[in-house]
Amino acid sequence: MCNVQRRIYSTAGLKGKYQMHKERQARIRKRMKEGGMDHLALFIGYSLYYFTGLKMLAHERPMLFIISPGEENAAFLANIEADSVKAVLTEPCKIYPFTDEAGYEHVFAGLSKDLGLAGKTIGIEYLGMRIQEYEIIKRHAAGAAFVDATDAIAELRMCKDKGEIENMRKAAEITEKALEAALPVIRPGATEKEVYKELKIQMLKHGSGQLWKQPIVTSGPRTAFPHSKVSDRVIRSGDLVMIDTGASYGEYICDLTRTFAVEKVEDEFRKVFDIVREANAAVEKNAKPGMNAEEVDRLARDVIESKGYGKQFIHRLGHGLGLEGHEPPYMVRGNKLKLLPGMTFTDEPGVYLAGRGGIRIEDDVVVTESGLDYLTGFSRELMVLG
């Protein structure tokens, strides 16, 4: 699983990035060997960035990055991307560019011949590989077998190093400052869209990178929907308002949810808020390395079930996060994965009363040698606004 004793490399400057990507690629090559993979084919996405530093936009032109057993990799891409890719890569890589006019089939055929892909076992991410690129490999690598490399990659990405954690901590700081700045907009007569707009503006004002998610802003009965797009609904006195949002920093993200009341609070909602807060705190107090993910989920679920709202806690406790908003590990019943130092996940219990409203409190945490360190610190008290 996670090698928590591995060296920590600074990402400052080309030298630090070279060391970081070299070490990450060495570790995935070890996993490839253990998993019987001769090559690993990556499409544009978070894993490509993790191993290479490449951030690219997916479009109709195909792209593949091949990590092979030796030290030289291969990149198959449109010629217009070649120079920008060369400028980023820190590890040896042979570029196989194609043009729109000449097409790409013969170029990938050459790559396949050079690497000897025919008859080999090729790892791909089943959740991340496009059918277009998969079919290109199949056409030009006769007899190749494909295996899912998702778990092998996830094992490396789950445990964050010091630099990754600090980026996530900074993303949390930005998120909290932006949320605080946007709170005055939450008042009777404002719409969900107005709050949504102000929140996005404040995220960017306070230093967020590209927003990895569109903020979830719901009010009144719509807070009973855990996930919902923003609407034109007008906020009223007595409403709950739920905000689920997050900034990014250095490509790493925050995921924070808080539920607010507008001017006044129904007695049952105040009671439910206290229950959800207690469930959130039970995880903070009791989760520790060596527990499995199911046990962490149970810490919060036991609190909510004991208060009679178990059927209204309709989702898992939390999910991993880092480069992506949802990634392993998942805090859910049936998951026996053990917590290890460096893992990051969300602590987000919620109770949802259909047709009336819901309450969720979400924090981001990192597993330490002795317990949990909460990256988010926004108040968990019930705030009455407006």
Interval 314-350: pLDDT, tens: 999 999 999 999 999 999 999 999 999 999 999 999 9
| Model confidence at 19: pLDDT above 80 | yes
What average pLDDT does this structure show over 248-252? 97
Interval 253-311: pLDDT, tens: 999 999 999 999 999 999 999 999 999 999 999 999 999 999 999 999 999 999 999 99
Question: CB 177: neighbour CB atoms within 10 A?
Answer: 18
Q: How confident is the model at residue 7 (pLDDT cuts 50, 70, 90)?
A: very low
| DSSP per-residue codes, 323-358 | SSSSEEEEE-TT--PBP-TTBEEEE--EEEETTTEE
What average pLDDT does this structure show over 75-85? 97
Interval 138-190: pLDDT, tens: 999 999 999 999 999 999 999 999 999 999 999 999 999 999 999 999 999 99
Locate tokens 């007695």: which residue?
267
Residue 157 CB contacts under 8 Å (≥ 6 apart), including other chains? 46, 47, 50, 322, 323, 327, 328
What average pLDDT does this structure show over 56-73? 94
| Model confidence at 370: pLDDT above 80 | yes
Domain map of the chain by residue range?
11-157, 159-374
Interval 28-41: pLDDT, tens: 999 999 999 999 99
Q: How far apart are CA 2 and CA 12, in angstroms?
A: 24
For domain 11-157, say whether CATH 3.40.50.1370 is its number: no
According to the model, what pLDDT value does residue 8 have?
31
For domain 159-374, say whether CATH 3.90.230.10 is its number: yes
Give the residue ranges of DSSP H helices in the chain.
Answer: 13-34, 46-52, 79-88, 105-115, 131-140, 150-158, 162-182, 192-205, 267-286, 293-306
Q: How far apart are CA 238 and CA 106, in angstroms?
A: 65
pTM of the model: 0.92
Answer yes or no: same fold for 11-157 and 159-374.
no
| CA 72 to the chain's CA centroid | 29
What average pLDDT does this structure show over 99-127? 98
According to the model, what pLDDT value does residue 304 have?
99
